[in-house]
Chains A and B, each alone.
Chain A
Amino acid sequence: MAGVRAAPSLASLDGKRQPWAHRSRVFDALGYRFRIRSTEAGIGRYLEQAYAGCLAADGHSVSERAGAGSHGTVWYSVVHGLPGPRTHAVYVDDERGVDAHDPAYVLSYLTWHINQQVIRRGSEEHVLVHASGAVTDGVGVMFPAGQEAGKTTLVAGLVRAGYSYLTDEALAVDIDTLELLPYAKPLSIDQGSWSVLAGLRPDVEPTTFAYLATQWQVPVQHVRPGAVAGPTGCRVIVFPSYVPDAPTTLEPIGRAEALATLLQHCFRFHERGARNFEVLARVVAQCHCFRLTSGDLAQACDAVTGVVDTLSADPAARIRA
């Protein structure tokens, strides 16, 4: 099979000696720099596309290997064809992170680990909110919510409708400018949303799809080319809640309530509680805030767009906000 090489030894991963079928360029997500290499070319190429929105501007590695506490570049190594029942593994630098028979399991570990490190690293310089985010007409919209609330599905629908993409998981706020900063990771689409986002099913060969069989990791450019947003001021905060079969409602909420709720969705809040509180209070002060309940993606997108269009058409509304 094209792109498949002999598997490296699990006992010791010597990256220089392995037959890597694909090595990515350097990604830089909120200051976390990493590269991905794979013994299978298909998944390697796919992951390069998936994280293309995070490509480092300088395109090269500061350091090929991260030491403790350094901000060097971390290597993720996706390995297949291992002897024994656990045929797939992911290494983080030289350390084995996970091994399993199921390639989808090791890929979920890879994306989880990257997220955790991006949040850890990003929280040092920014305020990070458990939220998805999108931009249209210069209006940044934040969707803070916990798991299973529909953050990813909603932002996928909006990007498909023409919005630009900030993130589907961890939204960073610049502590000086209060701008929302992109962390353009692939959209992690769970099985519950596959039917409503069927057009985003990864179009890859079966050996690559096996890595995506439980959660699609969709490159944002596959949703809409050129859709990654730049830093943008936040003007609207919507707390989404997916409720199957529920009618779509978008209700304004007070800023104080919005801030109190937002605090609960801030990553690593207590490590810099005073800074995070002050920054999020300033963000909320410049936003219109809503609570969205919906069981229908199209209606949810329409509701959000209706609010944003009103703001775009009436700049004074932003001032009064």
Chain B
Amino acid sequence: MRREPADIDGTSAPTRSPEVLTAELDGEAVLYDPRTGAAMVLNATATLVWRSLDSGASLESVARRLSQRFDTDLDQVRSEVVEVVRGFGRNGLLEGAELAPDDGGDAAPAGDG
């Protein structure tokens, strides 16, 4: 079922769009979407979240793992994970998600020289 990025919460289990290409360099991911020509860089935390989205796990479960790994407050981690994944959705990076017509997302276009 298609969901709006704003509807994503801890119970959601979104998955990465198979169209989006990922290159991970020193723990930071660069995503490239050939459909839109957009590229974006994820910081280390967002890269961990992005990586976790191919397991079918809920964001609650992702947040728990990260909270334990970094020994940080679960509520704060959950909030950040949900916000990061909503950002993926706004940029059309999730399966079944589409870039909102009035939302250019955060990604920069890859160039032509």
Interface residues of A (CB under 8 A from B): 119, 128-130, 170, 254-260, 263-270, 273-274, 277-278, 281, 284-285
Judging by beta carbons under 8 Å apart, are B113 and A256 in contact? no
Assign chain B's interface to a size class: 20 to 34
Judging by beta carbons under 8 Å apart, are B111 and A254 in contact? no
What are some 17 contacts across the A-B interface (CB < 8 A)? A255-B25, A256-B25, A260-B30, A260-B40, A264-B108, A265-B111, A266-B112, A266-B113, A268-B112, A268-B113, A269-B37, A273-B32, A273-B34, A273-B37, A274-B21, A274-B32, A281-B30
Closest 3 CB pairs of A and B: A264-B111, A281-B23, A256-B28
* Residues of chain A lying within 8 A (CB to CB) of residue B23: 256, 259, 277-278, 281, 284-285
Judging by beta carbons under 8 Å apart, are B25 and A263 in contact? no
User: In the complex, which of the residues B34, B40, B108, B112 contacts A274, with contact meaning CB atoms closer than 8 Å?
Assistant: B34
* Residues of chain A lying within 8 A (CB to CB) of residue B24: 256
* Residues of chain B lying within 8 A (CB to CB) of residue A264: 39, 108-111
Q: Is residue B26 contacting chain A, with contact meaning CB distance below 8 A?
A: yes
Q: B111's closest neighbor in chain A, by CB?
A: A264
Kindly provide the distance from the CB of A109 to the nearest chain B CB, expressed in whole angstroms.
19
Q: Is residue B41 contacting chain A, with contact meaning CB distance below 8 A?
A: yes
CA distance A285 to B28 in the complex (A): 12
* Residues of chain B lying within 8 A (CB to CB) of residue A269: 37, 110-113
Q: Is residue B66 contacting chain A, with contact meaning CB distance below 8 A?
A: no
User: In the complex, which of the residues A257, A267, A285 contacts B113, with contact meaning CB atoms closer than 8 Å?
Assistant: A267
Judging by beta carbons under 8 Å apart, are A270 and B25 in contact? no
Interface residues of B in 45-89 (CB under 8 A from A): none
Kindly provide the distance from the CB of A44 to the nearest chain B CB, expressed in whole angstroms.
30
Kindly provide the distance from the CB of A167 to the nearest chain B CB, expressed in whole angstroms.
13
Judging by beta carbons under 8 Å apart, are A254 and B113 in contact? no
Judging by beta carbons under 8 Å apart, are B41 and A267 in contact? no
User: In the complex, which of the residues B26, B29, B32, B42 contacts A263, with contact meaning CB atoms closer than 8 Å?
Assistant: B32
Judging by beta carbons under 8 Å apart, are B41 and A256 in contact? yes
With A255-B28, A259-B23, A268-B112 known, 15 other A-B pairs at CB within 8 A are A129-B113, A170-B113, A254-B25, A255-B26, A256-B24, A256-B28, A260-B40, A263-B110, A264-B108, A264-B109, A264-B110, A265-B111, A268-B113, A269-B111, A273-B32
Q: B37's closest neighbor in chain A, by CB?
A: A270
Kindly provide the distance from the CB of A320 to the nearest chain B CB, expressed in whole angstroms.
11
Given A260-B39, A263-B110, do A281 and B25 touch, yes or no (CB 8 Å)?
yes
CA distance A19 to B67 in the complex (A): 80
Judging by beta carbons under 8 Å apart, are B112 and A270 in contact? yes
* Residues of chain A lying within 8 A (CB to CB) of residue B108: 260, 264
